[in-house]
Amino acid sequence: MLWSNIIATCVVLAGVPSSLAYPGMGEQMAEIMRRQGDSGEFDSTEPLGDLITLPDSQLTPTGADIKKILTGQGTPQSTTTWTAPKLGSSACQKDTCCVWQYIVNDMVADFRGKSGRCTSWARRAVRLGFHDAGTWSKTTAAQGLPGGADGSLCSTDEINRADNNGLQDICQKVNGWYDNWTKKGYAVSRADIIQMGATVATVVCPLGPRIKSYVGRVDNAKAGPPNLLPGVDQSADALIALFRDKTIGPHSLTALVGAHTTSQQFFVNTTRAGDPQDSTPGVWDVLFYGQTLGTKPTPPRVFKFNSDIALSKHPQTAPEWQKFASAGGQQDWNEDFAAGYIRLSLLGVNNINKLTECTKVLPGGTPSFTPNDQSNVDKWLKTADQSATAKKISNALHAGESLLGWLINLINGILGGLKKAT
């Protein structure tokens, strides 16, 4: 029984008119309902994989911690760090995570831009993690079909599907890392490289969470089922149903779509290729939520997906959307995203109890960030110009470069041309 029904019943039985409710009672009740919904109607607490059947007495420390996270009782972020032994040393060989430190170092070099923002490689890595894991659902799993975080996106014809446009280059990079380390004799999987890449990219993006990260997934040579990834024109009801079938409720769905905050779209509307989904591309902030809602000033170059707009208004997702958009929403969003992403990254993984946590190999986060070129970015965002010059600015942002120096002249050139036109 929902808290809303219990509260309504108690009010009626007590004969208390709504006019006697004390100031702030509505907000407190809304928060109680939200928390109740987190573990019921609005979020899943279902275990996954082998954790469904294994008794607690047989869980490893990692399995037990993951089960707590999945059931809403654990902590999905970690600040644990270490100093890795030298690669190839006996100490390194004894630690499953050691080789991952060196793989992560390679990832960070590609993911962090000169401006401090995350690069296009980082954004692709986050999207790749979503798309590889997203080919799993309870319906298809019950039919014995493959799918989930199994590396198949980069090893089968999955990569040729239209909804994976733009991921070909990052798959080549994943396959390069995989070939390099397996040839050296290290037991790594594409599935783990993909999911580690997503969590590394998330924390490399300024303000991003440091999500607990695991290795030990098994690769699958079979492509996952089609038509299980979200579309940018789907209704909110369709998206909520799609993700429920993945054990992901509306609360976590709202948090997960916030990854659009770093992005620049290229395939939804090719005439506006490179336009970002909020005013701070490459930064992991909650501005996306406010600008999608329209509660924050939104310059013309910001591109909104119809699906995001629909979710921002749906009664099952709007309250959480508004909370993330409000003051203090960053911390709540990071925590909720981390929990939701851990669940997503374990879809279709049937050996969760045997995984190893390697969060310690992730770089430290960037809890505060002020771009030194944001005023120039803002000038570009105020234009709708699609000239070759504007594209150069878009590409520079996509690569994580700073809009200082010679790029200032490009921006001023655009603005000067617009003034003459008007």
Reported as a pLDDT band with limits 50, 70 and 90, residue 242 is very high
Helix, strand, coil percentages (3-state) for the chain, rounded to 5, are 55, 5, 45
355-400 pLDDT, tens digit each? 999 999 999 999 999 999 999 999 999 998 888 888 999 999 999 9
Q: Are 220 and 152 spatial neighbours (Cβ–Cβ below 8 Å)?
A: yes
Integer Cα distance of 21 and 10 in angstroms: 13
As a whole number, the mean pLDDT across the chain is: 90
Q: Which amino acid is at 162?
A: A
Mind listing the pLDDT tens digit for each residue in 294-333?
999 999 999 999 999 999 999 999 999 999 999 999 999 9
Parse the chain into domains and list their residue ranges.
Answer: 49-235+330-361, 374-421
- Listed in sequence order, the residues at least 6 apart from 139 whose beta carbon sits closer than 8 Å to its beta carbon are 245
HSE value, Cβ hemisphere, 13 Å, CA-based, for 309:
9
What is d(CA 284, CA 307) in angstroms, rounded to the nearest whole number? 20
Q: Look at residue 387 in the predicted model and tell me its pLDDT.
A: 86
Q: What is the pLDDT of residue 35?
A: 41
Mention every residue, 6+ apart, whose C-beta is less than 8 A from residue 44: 244, 247, 248, 249, 252, 343
Tokens of 333: 């969003």
The pLDDT score that the predictor gives to residue 44 is 87
Residue with tokens 């909650």: 286
Position 414 scores a pLDDT of 62
Domain 49-235+330-361 has CATH 1.10.520.10: yes
Residue pair 34/332 in contact (Cβ under 8 Å)? The answer is: no
Exposure string for 342-360, b = 16+ CB within 10 A, e = fewer: bbbbbbbbbebbebebbbb
pLDDT at residue 291 greater than cutoff 60: yes
